Amino acid sequence: MPPAPRVTAPAFAAKKKRGEKLAILTAYDYPTARMIDSAGVDGILVGDSLAMVVQGHETTLPVTLEQMIYHAEMVGRAVKRALVIVDLPFPIHHLGRHAVVEAAGKIMKQARVQAVKLEGGVEQADTIASLTRAGIPVMAHCGLGPQSVHTLGGYRVQRDRERLMADAQAAAGAGAFAMVLECVPSDIAREISASIEIPTIGIGAGGDCDGQVLVTHDLLGMHSGYVPKFVKRYANLGEQVVSAVAGFCDEVRSGKFPGADHEFQ
Ligand code: KIV
């Protein structure tokens, strides 16, 4: 059978037009990206959440551009079908048009991925337009922007309807091909989704968004920290790993492993 065609950035808007929901997950390494891709997601996000779920930081702020590229390269090599999107790490998209196009270009060249994501709406419209003009598809990220956790005073639901609507309109008008809506009340997310042509990808924004994204470590139960209300756990791999490793330790110590099946005669 020929390989399934690659999901493209314009295909996201086409799916919204047809009323098809988009499923997106994060990945930060080759084996995880392969599994997620073969399960049929539409998009794989190399999110700056890797600072928290892989590097063990308290916020997404510490991850660097070089580290994002290191992880994006592994994901870019693994994925054959889904659209791969890479987060621009703090504070690159606040450093001016030249700096942001240079950084996004570096990500696209080295990691061979298809799009970038950045946090912000109205204040990032010029940046989104510059990247789009440079041929770089941009996914916007409105609502709760984790990179602004210190100005927001925590990871809180964003309820300013006027501001959220203005951000969404500005990002869509500037050429973003899709938009994450994070921690936004469902009625506002519904209104935004109905008012723009590009798909909204919700995380804590209710079921009327045009798609959903989750952090894979949350979905698989591999992250032991705080679990937000919007997360649904589909597996508990963290517990399975601990139990498998404890089994290995027991069998090594008792002499049960390796047995005859695992020896060379
Ligand atoms: O960094 C990330 O994983 C994200 C998602 C939570 C949308 O931005």
Structure-block tokens of residue 120: 């912000």
With CA atoms as reference, report the closest residue to 27 among 106, 110, 86: 86
Q: Report d(CA 221, CA 47) in Å as an integer.
A: 17
Atom of ligand 1 nearest to the CA of 119: 8
**Inter-residue contact 27 to 33 (CB < 8 Å):** yes
Pocket lined around ligand 1, Cβ cut-off 6 Å: 26, 45, 47-49, 87, 141, 180, 203, 213, 215
Atom of ligand 1 nearest to the CA of 201: 7
**Inter-residue contact 119 to 98 (CB < 8 Å):** no
Please state whether beta strands 178-182 and 138-143 pair in parallel, antiparallel, or not at all (unpaired): parallel
Q: Please report the pLDDT score of residue 224 as a whole number.
A: 79
Q: Tell me the average confidence (pLDDT) per consecutive run of 10 residues in the chain, 265 residues long.
A: 90 98 98 98 98 96 98 98 98 95 98 98 98 98 98 96 98 98 98 98 98 98 88 97 98 97 94
Q: Please report the pLDDT score of residue 31 as a whole number.
A: 98
Token pair 């290191």: residue: 70
Cβ neighbours of residue 119 under 8 Å, at least 6 residues apart?
Answer: 93, 141, 145, 146, 147, 148
Which residues are identified as catalytic?
182
Whole-number Å distance, alpha carbon 224 to ligand 1 midpoint, is 17
What letter represents residue 46's amino acid? Answer: V
For atom 4 of ligand 1, the residue with the nearest CA is: 47
Atom of ligand 1 nearest to the CA of 213: 7
